């Protein structure tokens, strides 16, 4: 086998494996618009760089027909790729969005590890959908004393509302709470020409089916803010605008 043929074979095998994993990431673990919010891009870059670029390139460098210890060299390259693939897959899977919880005026995207040690009083919340995260709305207890105690605990480091499953409510029952805080996406256009173009594109793409689009802020695990475009009827996520709504000039958010 020639050096070029060995490179192409290695690249083809690597591309098939990485492509399959990326399809799972983009369409099952992080369906749009949660890939960018979930902050998985850095790990994906490392995975693609090692498995799709570095591995085949090393084969191109070291492969020589009948070279002594060729099998050892190729085994080492394969091990490096497998380690990168395993590490990347475990990391991306562990940080995938499992819950998207609306609290007060924003969505919060949570991975399973964000809820480590939290007690699920309702066993139904433990059920994970096959694709994407589950939606919920968290609200303060109705009792005033309980509210005060809860806020006091949070001030001194206890988990915030979105990380307390006992305060979650089924999303469809509370969608009006979300819609009451939503704002027209036209208000995002003031962030600059790129954002204005994005808003125009979203209106063209979704407007005929969903009407006047609205958004609410959403915070990912990196604590970076985005504008989450939602269905103006169901309040379910549709898309994302990469702009922090809290950074908009005063008076331009509505």
What are the residue ranges spanned by the domains of the chain?
A: 3-94, 97-177, 182-247
Cβ contacts of 108 within 8 Å, gap of 6 or more: 100, 101, 102, 162, 218, 219
Residue 191 has phi, psi (to 5 degrees) of -70, -15
pLDDT band at 223 (very low <50, low <70, confident <90, very high): low
How distant is the alpha carbon of residue 218 from its chain centre?
11
Nearest to 52 by CA among 24, 27, 77: 77
Cα 242 from Cα 106, distance rounded (Å): 15
* pLDDT at residue 253 tops 60: no
Both tokens of 167, joined, read 């305060």
What pTM does this model have?
0.79
pLDDT average, residue stretch 68-95: 86
Between 245 and 208, the more confident residue is 245
* 31-80: pLDDT as tens digits: 888 887 877 777 788 878 888 888 888 888 888 887 888 888 888 888 98
Assign 254 to helix, strand or coil: coil
pLDDT average, residue stretch 157-172: 84
Both tokens of 198, joined, read 């994005």
């Amino acid at each position: 086998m020639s050096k070029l043929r060995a490179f192409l074979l290695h690249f083809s095998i690597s591309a098939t494996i990485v492509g399959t994993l990326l399809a799972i990431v983009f369409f099952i673990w992080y369906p749009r618009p949660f890939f960018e919010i979930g902050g998985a891009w850095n790990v994906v870059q490392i995975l693609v760089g090692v498995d799709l670029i570095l591995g085949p390139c090393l084969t191109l460098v070291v492969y020589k027909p009948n070279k002594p210890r060729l099998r050892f060299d190729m085994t080492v390259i394969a091990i490096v790729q497998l380690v990168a693939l395993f590490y990347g897959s475990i990391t991306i899977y562990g940080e995938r969005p499992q819950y998207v919880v609306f609290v007060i005026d924003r969505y919060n995207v949570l991975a399973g590890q964000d809820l480590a040690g939290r007690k699920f009083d309702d066993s139904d919340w433990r059920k994970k959908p096959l694709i994407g995260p589950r939606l919920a709305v968290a609200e303060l207890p109705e009792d005033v004393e309980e509210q005060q105690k809860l806020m006091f605990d949070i001030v001194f480091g206890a988990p915030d509302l979105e990380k307390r499953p006992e305060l979650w409510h089924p999303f469809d029952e509370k969608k009006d709470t979300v819609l009451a805080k939503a704002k027209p996406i036209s208000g995002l256009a003031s962030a600059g020409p790129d954002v204005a173009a994005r808003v125009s594109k979203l209106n063209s793409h979704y407007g005929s089916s969903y009407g006047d689009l609205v958004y609410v802020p959403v915070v990912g695990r990196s604590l970076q803010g985005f504008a989450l475009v939602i269905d103006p009827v169901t309040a379910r996520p549709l898309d994302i605008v990469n702009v922090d709504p809290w950074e908009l000039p005063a008076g331009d958010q509505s």
